[in-house]
A and B are shown apart, each in its own frame.
Chain A
């Protein structure tokens, strides 16, 4: 066997081990909940992949996960951890909803495009805060992004219950945005929207930017060795600022799509921890667009499948988060064993 083939085999083993750990943990929880493991797993796969509606659900979930994963991944390539994707999703969603509601009565051409663009800017601006603090004040971006998650969540709570509240609904949701501001469906019957294509396109854009442009080279140089990058004359502060804005913009796009394509309004709980999952997705996907693409699909299957088990045996939604974390810890375990003891 060649070295490359051996590495690929080892990689495959790694993910099989991780999947097995998650499956065993799943079986344990399902048994605890008093469900039948085999039928639960059958309905898990059937509900997420077996039907057109289920597959549409999976694609819809994959959209924010892929965009969020890309957001974390881009920052990680420059050596930074963006833990604030949830906050930036909210920021994008808030900005998008705000514009859509403000232009409710004016016949603006291509309103949906404008609304999504504003969402992207909203996410980018929100991430500009940790970006600037990191670039020019060396403030750790992890803390700032985490703190801003809370700020964004409270702002969303204020807007959805206060000024933008849908009085008829009696929930923390805003009024519906105008039809002109919504994105089209992919299949009305299955219920999938075009967001997944936007997300896939962004995976391509990110790959091009990072792997094929001078800017991307500078980002990678910064991530590989910040000191060497600075010595080599790369404007590290500017790159840091820009890369965190790009990261936030991707998250903002995810938020804007959730508003314009899925909910057609801003809701509290718009992101049930997509940003947290995005960290794991980026780690598992090794911050590469292709890896993130594959992992976010798998995680979407996991989310939709767990969701069906929530309906049938009452499996809590948080179980998916636990399984995801177990998968990452298993992969890290196998990875570490390989580097600690080279054969």
Chain B
């Protein structure tokens, strides 16, 4: 039993959960406003490449993260442009952005780096021990010696949950996803809200993409997002569009990933590729239960046409 609740394992779980939480919350904000964004994987890829290249050129983690945020916002606004102004199929546009992002990330990297035999690397985000708390037994290791983005991701969960329920803006955002016409009737511009949600959501997704090269690997490789963008979408459904439950979903997926790392270290009997499959197989198993009773925002994926009849 101690093998499965080992503090180092749980610490790794939180480290790997952060990108899922960040991207999941970003997607959650967009979906709550009625925008379905299936391009998360591609957006995270561009953000990862952008962040890494900026880090390599400037050496500043802040500038690198900012680049990723800008990239995330740009692609999310592109999706919103099609979804809001052009009333396109959000699924089709989202998939196109997924492809565009996947290609663009690799293209950017190759154009800047070229073909090299040595993979360039950068330093990564340092872990930040919280004074007074880091010394705690068990929790100190698991929770309070993480990097800054893990703390940010964890703090964003209650912040977003609170603002969705308690603030007027949160109410409007939810209304944009549930009943945009009602919102329009009381004089709130649905389009502005959805563009706003896309910008904020895109920023978080961008940050999630930056997380992998900046906080984990210190390097970029094609396909490094490894399906985490798609997992972020599942995390939102898992969480029933609630930030708190989305965090639980992110922790679940991150736990299987961390467990797979640990198993790879202790056993040689199972081929590493079989272990690497584990998170994806678990995701499919989770999916089977995921849809029971899931109720997405009622206007999710639907363009709002002011002139259309009821």
Contact = CB atoms under 8 A, between A and B. Distances in A.
A146 B227 contact: yes
B245 interface: no
A151 B281 CA distance: 7
Given A33-B111, A147-B284, A314-B114, A336 B86 contact: yes
B283 interface: yes
B107 A318 contact: yes
Interface in B80-98: 82, 85-88, 91-93, 95-98
Contact of B87 (A139, A148, A155, A336): A336
B111 A32 contact: yes
Contact of B92 (A144, A154, A283): A283
A81 B96 CA distance: 13
A158 interface: yes
B151 interface: no
Interface stretch (B54-62, B121-129, B271-279): B271-279
Given A143-B287, A335-B88, A283 B102 contact: no
Interface size class of A (residues with CB under 8 A): 35 or more
B280 interface: yes
A202 interface: no
Contacts of A148: 280, 284
Contacts of A333: 82, 86
A283 B96 contact: yes
A340 to B, nearest CB: 6
Contacts of B105: 318
A321 B87 contact: no
Nearest to A158: B273
A325 B100 contact: yes
A330 to B, nearest CB: 10
B44 interface: no
A234 interface: no
B234 to A, nearest CB: 6
B103 A154 contact: no
Contacts of B103: 318-322, 324-325
B274 A158 contact: yes
Contacts of A83: 95
A50 interface: no
Interface residues of B, number: 45
A137 B291 contact: yes
A321 B99 CA distance: 7
Interface in A119-171: 129, 133, 137-140, 142-144, 146-148, 150-151, 154-155, 157-158, 161-162
A154 B96 contact: no
A336 B274 CA distance: 44
B86 A340 contact: yes
Contacts of A154: 273-274, 276-277
A133 B277 contact: no
B104 interface: yes
Contacts of A139: 287-288, 290-291
Contacts of B110: 316, 318
A339 interface: yes
A337 interface: yes
B82 A325 contact: no
A329 interface: yes
A303 interface: no
Given A150-B226, A162-B271, A143 B88 contact: no
Contacts of B93: 329, 332
B95 A336 contact: no
Interface string B286-308: 01101100000000000000000
A196 B44 CA distance: 36
A318 B102 CA distance: 8
Given A326-B100, A332-B96, 20 more contacts: A33-B111, A139-B290, A140-B291, A143-B233, A143-B234, A146-B227, A154-B274, A280-B99, A316-B110, A321-B106, A322-B103, A322-B107, A324-B99, A324-B103, A329-B93, A332-B92, A333-B82, A339-B87, A340-B85, A340-B86
Chain A to chain B: the 10 pairs with minimum beta-carbon distance, closest first: A321-B103, A336-B86, A318-B106, A325-B100, A316-B110, A158-B273, A322-B103, A154-B273, A147-B280, A325-B99
Interface of B: 38, 78, 82, 85-88, 91-93, 95-100, 102-107, 110-111, 114-115, 222, 226-227, 230, 233-234, 271, 273-274, 276-277, 280-281, 283-284, 287-288, 290-291
7 contacts: A139-B288, A155-B277, A276-B99, A280-B96, A280-B99, A318-B104, A333-B82
